[in-house]
Amino acid sequence: SQQGEEDPQALSIQEGENATMNCSYKTSINNLQWYRQNSGRGLVHLILIRSNEREKHSGRLRVTLDTSKKSSSLLITASRAADTASYFCATDLISNFGNEKLTFGTGTRLTIIP
Amino acid sequence: EPEVTQTPSHQVTQMGQEVILRCVPISNHLYFYWYRQILGQKVEFLVSFYNNEISEKSEIFDDQFSVERPDGSNFTLKIRSTKLEDSAMYFCASSVPPSGIYYGYTFGSGTRLTVV
């Protein structure tokens, strides 16, 4: 598998339910980030978790990171129709220059059914 | 909240023509980037830019591509002679305020480039 692969590729749930998406990666990282993309639109930064962190919360979002398994999960609680979008994980390494490239996963297409 | 602004939102160009995609990053950010996303595919890194020079580029970023920060506010991506396979959504991003603390990228809303 490639660096940054999300599963499932697609997820449909009823409004109000929780949505969980997973991301696996292959190399060591400094940070892992989750982004949202509404259809045909830009990427919106949701949350960043550093390699020395295990869990982070932001509103209805909860992100976990397991560096031993090279995996992360994104949980969206009490989903809303407006959460319908594609969700991507992205990993990065910090080089001597500062910040280097992000490597994006393939994304999970989340559909919230009203 | 500060934004990264990209223009135009959509550009159609003839194969072989030059295009310039424009971006205004967040003013006090130190690092600037271009990424692209071919329809239905992953978002791919093109180039990063720091202190008025390229810090890293991908193998996609060949001699047909160039970046410039001409006036301290704009950040441009030029494709010298477009090919059909350059059709994609191009995203500009910036990161790292002067504090030096990295919080992730701020992406623009993208320019959809269609080469015909």
pLDDT of residue B95 exceeding 90, the answer is no
CA-CA-CA-CA torsion sign (B15, B20, B23, B28)? positive
**Beta-bridge mates of residue B107:** B93
* B55 to A104: CB separation less than 8 angstroms, yes or no: no
Model confidence at B80: pLDDT above 80: yes
Does residue B68 register a pLDDT over 60?
yes
pLDDT digits (tens, 9 = 90+) for A48-72: 999 999 999 999 999 999 999 999 9
Nearest CB among A33, A42, A101 relative to B109 is that of: A42
Query: In 3D, which of A104, A85, A107 has the Cα closest to residue A32?
Result: A104
Whether the CB of A103 is below 8 Å from some CB of chain B: the reply is: yes
The pLDDT of residue A2: 42
Burial of A68 (0-12, 13-18, 19+ CB in 10 A): exposed
pLDDT of residue B108: 94
Asked whether residue A1 carries a pLDDT value surpassing 60, the answer given is no
Contact A98 B30 (CB under 8 A): yes
Q: Which residues of B touch A103 (CB under 8 A)?
A: 45
Residues in A 19-78 with any Cβ partner in B closer than 8 A: 31, 33, 35, 40-45, 48
The closest CB to that of B106, out of A45, A98, A103, belongs to: A45
Amino acid at A55: E
Can you spell out the DSSP letters for B30-74? -EEEEEEE-TTS-EEEEEEEETTEEEEE-TT--TTEEEE--SSS-
Mean pLDDT of B89-98: 88
Distance from CA of B16 to the nearest CA of A (A): 25
* pLDDT for B37: 94
- pLDDT attached to residue A99: 62
Q: A45 and B108: CB-CB below 8 Å?
A: no
pLDDT band, very low/low/confident/very high, at A110 (cuts 50, 70, 90): very high
Region A80-94 average pLDDT: 90
Distance between CA atoms of residues B76 and B84, nearest Å: 20
Mutate to test the interface with A, among B6, B43, B45 (most CBs of A within 10 A): B43
Give the tokens for residue A56.
Answer: 């982070």
pLDDT at residue A97 is higher than 60: no
> For A26-55, what is the mean pLDDT?
90
Chain B residues with CB-CB distance to A5 below 8 A: none
Q: What is the DSSP letter of A3?
A: S
Peptide bond into B8 cis (omega under 30): yes
Mean pLDDT of A76-103: 83
Q: Does B89 touch chain A (CB under 8 A)?
A: yes
Output the pLDDT for position A94: 60
